[in-house]
Amino acid sequence: MAKFRKKPLALLGSSVLVLSVLAGCGSNDNNEGSAGASAAGASPSASSAADASAKPKDKVEISFWTTYTDADAGPITAIVDNFNKSQDHITVKMLGNQDPTKQLTAISGGAAPDVLLTYWNNIGPWADAGAVRDLTDDISKSGFDVSSIIPAAMDRMMINDKYYAMPFTMSMASSLMYNKADFAAAGLTKPPETLEELSDYAKKLTKKDSSGNITQIGFIPDYPWIDNVFWPVIFGGSWIDSNGKLTPNAEPNVKAIAYQRSFYEEFGQSQIDKFKSGMGKRGTAQDPLLTGQMAMMVGWEYNFMPERAADGPIGVAPFPYPADHPELKGSGMVSPRAVFIPAKAKHPEEAWAFMQYLMTTDTQVQYSLDAHVIPTIKDALSDDRLYVDSNKTMADFYESAKSENLNGFPNSSYINEYLQSLSEETEKALKGTESPQEAMDKVAEKIQPLADGK
Amino acid sequence: MAKILNDNAIGIRRRNRKVLIVGLLFTSPWIIGFFIFQLYPILASFYYSLTEYNLFSPPKWVGLGNYRKLFHDDKFYLSMYNTLYITIVGVVPHMAYALAMALLLNAKVKGQSLYRTIYFLPTLVPAVASSLLWMWLLNSQYGLINMGLHYIGIAGPNWLVDPDWTKPSLILMGFWGTGTITVMYLAALQDVPKMYYEAAEIDGASKWRQFWVITFPSISPMTLFQLIMMLIASFQYFTEGLVFAEATQSTGGPENSLLFYSIYLYQQAFSFLNMGYASAMAWMLFVVVMICALVIFRTSARWVYYGGDK
């Protein structure tokens, strides 16, 4: 008995152990004053030690962490090698496979890397917590021209009116991808122009069997995920106004959800759900758009890279716009990958030099060619070197990246709560348990206090 | 005489102290580990639960603020409900099933050790791998389970997408991984003295009656142990829920039906950086599990029998 009685305690202890990790990290911050002081005191000797070991060239080694897996690390490794060869002051050491949780642990601990590449939505909470170096001074001192960057990408790096990171590359959802064979079978000769046409096309491209089960679907608005940013962007929505009032319930945002809901009303909730769960895995040979199970989908620049070639099975078109708002033509959502310097980095100046190198046109062009991504420097988008045959399927995306109508979600300390709440409520609205207006009112009500508090 | 006694006593005391020191030295790796990696973090988490803390800025004291906030948080209740659901609906059937399997695997049949091995194998599959496998089985369109149901004339549910069926899916999957419980039951079953059964047989008791009068009481300490262990594991339900939820590209699954308590805790801590709030959540979980465990212990006197006591 007595033995059993202690068991739960010990096990519960381990449940609390999750927190121990945090607690362990926290202790550093508790002693921040003294730790900071000793670090400052130690740094001259530390750097002199480094000088001693690398005397001839006075080289500084900085560490650079990325999220890339080994399989995807080729292009970035080439960039880092080039940088190391281009000068003899800084050596960049790269470490891949560092997911955000690992990054968070590292930048909160004592041995933070000097530069990290991460998902842009981490920058808000991390910067607000004081873990990310404010780049304002670096930018002004080095004369870096922020306006050389695509605004939709650079805006994502701004938290409380300050820049905390640089958008190294960006992903973009601004196109409609479609199965050419499905279109031909339905007698459709060109992609839809407006959202109203998209609805019509979806009806024409959806097939049901005798018992009412869907066998082919035209379009699923929340495939592959509920996108709470893309759709409002397409409708010209916003999330915060200039007075700090959150606007998830603004008219265009609500319309964006109502539009998505209309597909469920048309084809049936349970039918779509059932069909969806039987669809092949995205990005494999069984991808529903490739097999023709699904005729159209929201397209990103990384989807169907070879298959969307002129003679391939997948067609690409600009995503349709609302017929009554032709000025929104060419809208799209931007989702950058951000590079930042932790506040605790030991070599921020060298890190900033490396970041600037990442943001030069030459680097951006080379990386875009190697990794088939969209550069974030405006000049790079028009660079002839990108428009070569081996990179042909990217050309349309470089063109659409020049659009004025690109947008993204505002970055902030509460961004993840805001996005989470939007997803939850949008899901309810799509299922019809709440009206789009009700759902978005709830988001505003729930998240506004966070926006006011921070 | 008195002097000798006194000397002896001192000698013993000295020797005891030496033994104590040696003992402590030998256990010191654990003791140090326990203090640094368990006790300190546990106590620190309690302190953090009383603060607003984001990992970077110094903690800000808010007293019981986090706990008060918990009681006004819809998702706290939702995640608690999801966790209680999987605990209450899942634990007892899983144990009953494991016991039934243990009884079968305890039968004197040829090739029993092979059956035992086969039955235990799934337990060795990592949680993520078995979740991914089961997501295929549970696929509503092409999954084996719905195919089987179709043959007997039942239209299977949309297991992974319908919020009413996501948790039952996980519980169903749980049956697959009951090997450890079964093995422990098996050990307990083999400890039940044969003579009881012989006596019962002579008295003409049926197998059913033998089970309830002899087997079940005899293995009741094992049942108590399993119940407590499973309760704790169930309250910490995490991996499988997270993997299933990923299938719908979300953290909480369809309509947050897979937002289990520890997943919500993780989200608060690492996604929202509300470390203080997450610590408070951990302590709430501690209290709830503690209460459940206490209730079980209080009632256990009525149904748990120890060979020596009775």
- Contact check, Cβ <8 Å, A12/B290: yes
* Of the ranges A28-32, A192-196, A284-288, B105-109, the best mean pLDDT one: A192-196
B249 with A273: Cβ contact below 8 A = no
User: A311 lies in which domain range?
Assistant: 173-332+411-453
Residues of A within 8 A of B44 (CB-CB) are: 19-20, 23, 26-27
Residue A393 DSSP one-character state: G
Average of per-residue pLDDT across A155-174: 95
CATH (domain of A255): 3.40.190.10
- Does A164 share its domain with A67? yes
Domain end, chosen from A407, A429, A444, is at: A407
Sign of the torsion angle spanned by Cα atoms B290, B295, B296, B301: positive
- Which single residue is written with the structure tokens 């079953």? B189
pLDDT-based confidence at residue A212 (cuts at 50, 70, 90):
confident
Cβ within 8 Å, pair B286-A26: no
CA–CA separation, A206 vs A219, rounded Å?
8
Share of chain A above pLDDT 90, in %: 78
C-alpha separations of A211 from A214, B156, B270 in Å: 9, 16, 47
Residue B278: which of A19, A129, A273 has the nearest Cβ?
A: A19
Write the DSSP string, A244-258: S-B-TTSHHHHHHHH
Residue A414, both tokens: 């509460």
CB contact under 8 A, A24 and B270: no
- Hey, is A98 helix, strand or coil? coil
Assess if residue A9 is contained within a domain: no
* Whether residue A37 has pLDDT greater than 90: no
Contact B212, B234 (CB under 8 A): no
Encoded tokens for A238: 């916003």
A454/B contact by beta carbon, under 8 A:
no
In a domain, A395, yes or no: yes
HEC profile of B233-288: HHHCCCHHHHHHHHCCCCCCCHHHCCCCHHHHHHHHHHHCCCHHHHHHHHHHHHHH
Whole-angstrom distance, CA of residue B112 vs CA of residue A119: 53
Regarding whether A341 and A223 lie in a shared domain, the answer is no
CB A363 within 8 A of CB A323: no
List chain B residues with CB under 8 Å of A129.
Answer: 54-57, 273
**Residue A194 DSSP class:** B
ipTM (interface predicted TM): 0.82
Q: In this complex, do B255 and A427 lie within 8 Å of one another by their Cβ atoms?
A: yes
Whether the predicted pLDDT of B1 surpasses 80: no
How many angstroms separate the Cα of B73 from the Cα of each of A216, A347, B236?
41, 42, 19
Position B276 pLDDT exceeds 90: yes
Please count the residue pairs, one from chain A and one from chain B, whose beta carbons lie less than 8 angstroms apart: 156
- Cβ within 8 Å, pair B282-A19: yes
On whether any CB of chain B is under 8 Å from the CB of A130, the answer is yes
Q: According to the model, what pLDDT value does residue A46 have?
A: 41
Which residues 393-422 of chain A have a CB within 8 Å of chain B?
414, 416-417, 420
The C-alpha atoms of residue B32 and residue B36 are separated, in whole angstroms, by: 6
CATH (residue range B67-303): 1.10.3720.10
**Is there a single domain that holds both residue A303 and residue A348?**
no
Minimum Cα–Cα distance from B48: chain A residue:
A23
Residue A96 pLDDT > 50: yes
Do A22 and B55 count as a contact with CB atoms less than 8 A apart?
yes
Mean pLDDT, all residues of chain A: 87
Average pLDDT, stretch B166-174? 95
| Whole-number pLDDT of residue A249 | 96
The tokens for B212 are: 């309830």
Which of A45-49, A365-369, A400-404, B75-79 shows the lowest mean pLDDT across its residues? A45-49
Residue of chain B whose Cα is closest to the Cα of A130: B56
**A6 inside domain:** no
State residue A208 phi and psi, 5-degree precision: -125, 150
- Nearest neighbour of B158 by CB, restricted to A16, A30, A277: A277
Residues A78 and A161 in one domain: yes
Residue with tokens 């049936």: A268
Same domain, A122 and A79: yes
CA-closest candidate to residue A7, choices B236, B89, B224:
B224
Do A328 and A374 lie in a common domain?
A: no
pLDDT at site A270: 85
In this complex, which of A7, A278, A420 lies closest to B141 when CB atoms are compared?
A: A278
Q: Residue B2: what are its φ and ψ, rounded to 5°?
A: -65, -40
Contact A423 B48 (CB under 8 A): no
- H or E element that contains B103: helix B74-106
pLDDT value at A51 more than 50: no
Q: Tell whether A265 and A183 lie within a shared domain.
A: yes
Q: Chain B: nearest CA to A57, how far in angstroms?
A: 36
Question: What's the rounded mean pLDDT across residues B215-219?
Answer: 93
B232 contacts A11? CB cut-off 8 A = yes
Query: By the CB < 8 Å criterion, does A104 face chain B?
Result: yes
- Look at B41 and A428 and tell me if their CB atoms are within 8 Å: no
A26·B255 Cβ contact <8 A: no
Cβ atoms of residues A374 and A398 within 8 Å: yes
* B41 with A20: Cβ contact below 8 A: yes
Minimal-distance CA residue of chain B relative to A33: B58
Contacts of A14 in chain B (CB under 8 A): 38
Q: HSE of B155 in the Cβ direction (CA atoms, 13 Å)?
A: 4
Same-domain status, A421 and A394: no
Taking each helix axis as running N to C, give the angle between helix A348-358 and helix A361-371, from 0 to 180 degrees, rounded to the nearest 10. Answer: 70
The model's pLDDT over B119-149, given as tens digits with 9 standing for 90+, comes to 999 999 999 999 999 998 998 878 899 999 9
pLDDT band at A263 (very low <50, low <70, confident <90, very high): very high
- Residue A449 backbone dihedrals phi, psi, to 5 degrees: -60, -35
**Total count of domains within chain A:** 2
B223: nearest CA partner in chain A: A4
Q: Is the Cβ–Cβ distance between A153 and A171 less than 8 Å?
A: no
**Same-domain pairing of A285 and A179:** yes
Q: Which residue(s) pair with A338 in the sheet?
A: A118, A167
- In chain A, residues 70-99 whose CB comes closer than 8 Å to chain B: none
| Extents of the domains making up chain B | 2-49, 67-303
Do the Cβ atoms of B41 and A19 come within 8 Å? yes
**Cβ–Cβ below 8 Å for B48 and A22:** yes
Residue B6: pLDDT band by 50, 70, 90 thresholds?
Answer: low
Predicted pLDDT of residue B249: 77
Per-residue pLDDT at A49: 43
The answer to whether A281 faces chain B, any CB pair under 8 Å, is: no
Q: Write out the H or E segment, with its range, that includes residue A297.
A: strand A294-300
Query: Whose CA is closest to A12, among B48, B38, B274?
Result: B38
With 50 as the cut, is the pLDDT of residue A52 above it? no
Q: Do A226 and B40 touch (CB under 8 A)?
A: no
pLDDT of residue B11: 65
Distance from CA of B85 to the nearest CA of A (A): 19
In this structure, how many other beta carbons lie within 10 angstroms of the beta carbon of residue A256? 28
**Taking the CA of residue A395 as centre, how many other CA atoms within 13 Å lie in the half-sphere pointing to its CB?**
12
Q: In terms of Cα–Cα distance, which of B283, B78, B238, B58 is closest to A19?
A: B283
Q: Which amino acid is at B160?
A: L
- The pLDDT assigned to A273 comes to 86
Q: Which pLDDT tens digit goes with each residue over B46-65?
A: 999 999 999 888 999 999 99
Residues 6+ apart with CB under 8 A from B166: B159, B160, B244, B253, B254, B257, B258
B146: which residues sit within 8 A by CB, 6+ positions away? B138, B139, B140, B156, B157, B159
Distance from the B30 Cα atom to the nearest Cα atom in chain A, whole angstroms: 13
- Regarding whether A271 and A393 lie in a shared domain, the answer is no
Choosing among A15, A134, A270, which should be mutated to test the B contact, i.e. which has the most B CBs within 10 A?
A: A15
